[in-house]
Chain A
């Protein structure tokens, strides 16, 4: 009996120890995010403080010209171009998979699409470089196929799985009763989708689009390989047939050359900070919207 009590006490002590270790692991995971923010801000701050970052259309580190317009406009043009393709493709495919396809066949579509999302970005970059870039240069008769259009097309393929898998989950979670009520009132299948299912699912679908936008802005290697990376944009932001230099590409190209502690080096971390801010904003907006969605769904 005494032994049993002793054992129980002993194990309750070790239990505390283990709970502590587990709590430390959880705290460590939170600390990683904190450290990322801290280091990016600390290394980016000197660039902001020295006032070298401007909004002009010139990113020429060798002349200490750090105009953010080139990079920001490139990132946004490429991401918007990608979503212009992947949003309609992803949402309409999600509608087809959830509403039309018999449940038994769903996995035959969903599994390949999830695998599409698992292909490494360097492989996408390689395929884009080998196929999309030469196709663009011959189709439009331009010398450089490495353009905003090439990057948008690669990113479109990369973001379709995000939109499709998230929004098909949202569509599938619309209660069956809603559909039955609509069908019982004499609505057709399409009318039910258009007026009942889609409006109910809208917030969740919007959240999936936001997350896809975040992925497109943050995507790196695939974009570096097909975007061309010029030091300034030759045309207006909506010209998709010009080479572009997105923020992520500037970091990859710059980190190889920038001397540690130089203005260029700090400028690259400042761009990292902008990317970080983009991803947090996108996440916050997406979770805000989907929180509203769950309230609507629980009605």
Chain B
């Protein structure tokens, strides 16, 4: 019995080492990308790709955010409201649950194939911003619905009952009581979706992006350049087009953007989890 305590301790020490190794990997990635900071000058960020800058990819990424979240936020929120508020045990809600689980596991490149067939080809939109919005909105759906569902489940039943007892209808209760309480969940969903959109490449590769020098898209039917796609092109097809330090700077911008958005989502989630924990 006594001699078994020592290998046990050794194994736990090794588990500490592996945790350290994982943390060190994160630290190393941060350190490596921070070497791009020296090239991060206003001129680099604000001039066109024709002049060696990254203005179009930055604006293109923002366009992609705006449209994809504008589509997925209302649809995802309403789907979650239906599943939790209207029909928690209904057939449709159970189907939705299963569909979301599977949707979350579908590889992003398959979303790309799907988006290309339906939006670019069958609906005739072509490779453009709008096709990218729709494809990404489909991809974000599970994250959006799950975030809203989580916080809707946290809103105490007594709050709903109080509103209904005052004579409010089901929709009035949802509109004026439940949704305001669930707002942080909607925010988390939107911010997490934006973080995913910012970094996504495979799903927009053949639905939204062209490597063109045409400048910024002027309508949703124009193709777009994003930070993620530009980084991919620079590494795979145009090595040497930018200085190595500038490619690191581009990767740093993309990294910082996704980390900032994800941290914001975690902060909002931690806030409402603490807030509703007092109720339950």
In Å, the complex CA distance between A188 and B75 comes to 52
State whether the Cβ of B165 lies closer than 8 Å to any Cβ in chain A: no
Selecting from A64-72, A172-180, A278-286, the interface stretch reads A278-286
What chain A residues lie within 8 Å of B199 (beta carbons)? Answer: 118-123
In Å, the complex CA distance between A95 and B29 comes to 24
State whether the Cβ of A252 lies closer than 8 Å to any Cβ in chain B: yes
A36 & B232 in contact (Cβ 8 Å cutoff): no
State whether the Cβ of B201 lies closer than 8 Å to any Cβ in chain A: yes
A248 & B79 in contact (Cβ 8 Å cutoff): no
Kindly supply a per-residue 1/0 record for chain A positions 210-226, scoring 1 wherever the CB is within 8 Å of any chain B CB and 0 otherwise: 01001001111100110
State whether the Cβ of B12 lies closer than 8 Å to any Cβ in chain A: yes
B108 & A220 in contact (Cβ 8 Å cutoff): yes
Task: Give the bracket for the number of chain B residues in contact with chain A.
Answer: 35 or more
In Å, the complex CA distance between A168 and B106 comes to 24
What chain B residues lie within 8 Å of A95 (beta carbons)? Answer: 12, 15
State whether the Cβ of B8 lies closer than 8 Å to any Cβ in chain A: yes
Given A92-B15, A119-B29, is A129 in contact with B205 using a C-beta cutoff of 8 Å? no
The secondary-structure label for the interface of chain A is helix
A92 & B251 in contact (Cβ 8 Å cutoff): no
B255 & A119 in contact (Cβ 8 Å cutoff): yes
Task: Count chain A CB atoms within 10 A of each CB in B29, B201, B205 and give the residue with the most.
Answer: B201
Q: Which of A114-156 contact B (CB under 8 A)?
A: 114-116, 118-123, 125-127, 129-131
In Å, the complex CA distance between A113 and B5 comes to 30
A275 & B12 in contact (Cβ 8 Å cutoff): no
B96 & A283 in contact (Cβ 8 Å cutoff): no
A contacts with B, residue count (CB < 8 A): 86
B75 & A29 in contact (Cβ 8 Å cutoff): yes
Q: Which residue of A lies closest to B21 (CB)?
A: A89
State whether the Cβ of A21 lies closer than 8 Å to any Cβ in chain B: yes
B105 & A125 in contact (Cβ 8 Å cutoff): no
State whether the Cβ of A112 lies closer than 8 Å to any Cβ in chain B: yes
A190 & B11 in contact (Cβ 8 Å cutoff): yes
State whether the Cβ of A184 lies closer than 8 Å to any Cβ in chain B: no
Given A28-B75, A120-B201, is A217 in contact with B107 using a C-beta cutoff of 8 Å? yes
The secondary-structure label for the interface of chain B is helix
What chain A residues lie within 8 Å of B117 (beta carbons)? Answer: 39, 43, 269
What chain B residues lie within 8 Å of A35 (beta carbons)? Answer: 114, 118
State whether the Cβ of B34 lies closer than 8 Å to any Cβ in chain A: no
State whether the Cβ of B78 lies closer than 8 Å to any Cβ in chain A: yes
Q: Which of B74, B102, B202, B206 contacts A221 (CB 8 A)?
A: B202
Selecting from A10-18, A45-53, A230-238, the interface stretch reads A10-18
Q: Which of A227-275 contact B (CB under 8 A)?
A: 248, 251-252, 255-256, 260, 268-269, 272, 275
Q: Which of B83-126 contact A (CB under 8 A)?
A: 83, 85-87, 92-93, 95-96, 99-103, 105-114, 116-118, 121
A131 & B32 in contact (Cβ 8 Å cutoff): yes
In Å, the complex CA distance between A89 and B21 comes to 8
State whether the Cβ of B44 lies closer than 8 Å to any Cβ in chain A: no
Q: Which residue of B lies closest to A124 (CB)?
A: B29
A270 to chain B, nearest CB (A): 11
A279 & B23 in contact (Cβ 8 Å cutoff): no
Given A19-B86, A22-B81, A287-B101, is A123 in contact with B255 using a C-beta cutoff of 8 Å? yes
B169 & A30 in contact (Cβ 8 Å cutoff): no
What chain A residues lie within 8 Å of B258 (beta carbons)? Answer: 118-120, 123
Q: Which residue of B lies closest to A113 (CB)?
A: B22
What chain B residues lie within 8 Å of A125 (beta carbons)? Answer: 232, 235
What chain A residues lie within 8 Å of B254 (beta carbons)? Answer: 120, 122-123
Between-chain CB contacts (< 8 Å), 24 pairs: A15-B169, A15-B171, A22-B79, A23-B92, A25-B79, A27-B92, A30-B92, A35-B114, A39-B117, A43-B117, A109-B23, A115-B26, A115-B263, A118-B199, A119-B29, A123-B258, A126-B235, A127-B32, A127-B251, A131-B32, A272-B113, A276-B107, A279-B106, A287-B101
A residues contacting B by CB (< 8 A) are 8, 11-12, 14-15, 18-19, 21-23, 25-30, 32-33, 35-36, 39-40, 43, 88-90, 92-93, 95-97, 99-100, 109, 111-116, 118-123, 125-127, 129-131, 157, 160, 164, 188-191, 193-194, 211, 214, 217-221, 224-225, 248, 251-252, 255-256, 260, 268-269, 272, 275-276, 279-280, 282-283, 287
Other 15 A-B pairs with CB < 8 A, given A113-B22, A121-B202: A11-B172, A26-B93, A33-B99, A93-B22, A96-B19, A119-B199, A120-B200, A120-B228, A121-B199, A123-B199, A123-B251, A188-B8, A189-B12, A190-B8, A248-B109
